[in-house]
Structure 1
Amino acid sequence: MAPTSVSRTRLALVALTAALLGASGPAAYAALDDAGGGPSTAAPKAVGKPYVKTELLFGTAKPDGGAPVTDQEFHAFVDEFVTPRFPAGLTIENAQGQYRDTHGTIERERSYKLTLLYPKREATADSRKIEEIRATYDKRFGQESVARIDDNELVDF
């Protein structure tokens, strides 16, 4: 079957792109699928092992109007309470957040996002540790809540 004008154009564009990227010969056409010259739709091979990623969002403003949680207080909390439960590692990011409090007021505050990665096979035990972290932060710093976001990931170190 003779190629149509559209498929010839597509082949020319793929060849030109491959040439610009430094590919030649058979490698220049490696991105073509077998069914008609379009880009390959095959998904890349997944890399990594199954992990759970949990992000915790810690506010620093206190509902009673007291002084906000300081950097020193937050990092001491992480050192004392979070790190012993997740010694393999974690990530902390400074953030600016807002939420509607229990009185309906939009609160804007400096906050932290803490990211934890742990093997999926350990998710039940680690979930209990995370709930301890949330409850302790709420109580210690007079917070209404610590937001929790969980997602399944493939992770490779």
Structure 2
Amino acid sequence: MRLTKGRALAVGGALAGMLAGGPAAYATLQGAEGGRGTPYAETRLYFGTERPDGGPAVTDEQFMDFIDRKVTPAFPEGLTLHQGVGQWRDSTGTIERERSYELTLLYPAGQADDRDARIEAIRDAYEKEFAQDSVGRADDTARVDF
């Protein structure tokens, strides 16, 4: 899926019912008492594998190499990766489908501002390296217990 900013917003829009209200939500969650776990921020990134220029799709090996080089150094604490199929409607009304990846990052809510630059660097690097229009992003809050 070639995720343009508009398409990324459409994908993110489908998740809107699950998403919290930004920085105010982090502050509320940090101040919440009771309940299991520690306040964390959760970021999900959505990576398409088809290239807008029609070139060869990003392979599993290329994607895992990208994770090893760009994501793991920025988030050595851990991550979760799911492979799936993305879908969107293009400007002609055609439904386009492609192999995709969803990356989930969890980090302490108090570190959300520090982690934002790392996340944006990952998105920018993938867009440039694999000629993508966009990498989708969704942020939420969670209580996490390991």
Alignment gaps of 5+ in structure 1 = 1-44
Separation (CA, whole Å) in 1 of partners of 2:113 and 2:107: 11
SS state of the match for residue 51, structure 2?
A: coil
- Higher RCO (Cα < 8 Å, 6 or more apart): 2
Distance 1:68 1:77, change over 3 A: same
* 2:125 is the alignment partner of 1:136: yes
Residue 76 of structure 1 aligns with an amino acid whose one-letter code is D
Tell me the CA shift for residue 125 of structure 1.
1.0
Separation (CA, whole Å) in 2 of partners of 1:102 and 1:114: 27
* 2:81 is the alignment partner of 1:82: no
**Could you tell me which residue of structure 2 aligns to residue 114 of structure 1?**
103
SS state of the match for residue 118, structure 1?
A: strand
Distance 1:128 1:103, change over 3 A: farther
- Runs of 4 or more, structure 1, over 2 Å off, are 99-107
Distance 1:108 1:56, change over 3 A: same
Distance 1:103 1:148, change over 3 A: farther
Separation (CA, whole Å) in 2 of partners of 1:152 and 1:53: 6
**Could you tell me which residue of structure 2 aligns to residue 69 of structure 1?**
58
Q: Which structure has the greater CA radius of gyration? A: 1
Tell me the CA shift for residue 112 of structure 1.
0.4
Give the total of aligned pairs: 113
Q: Give the fraction of aligned pairs with identical amino acids, expressed as a percent.
A: 55
Distance 1:69 1:102, change over 3 A: farther
Give the alignment of 1:40-79 within 5 angstroms. Answer: 46-79=35-68
Separation (CA, whole Å) in 1 of partners of 2:135 and 2:93: 17
Separation (CA, whole Å) in 2 of partners of 1:146 and 1:73: 16
TM-score (norm. length: structure 2)? 0.73
Give the alignment of 1:4-19 within 5 angstroms. Answer: none
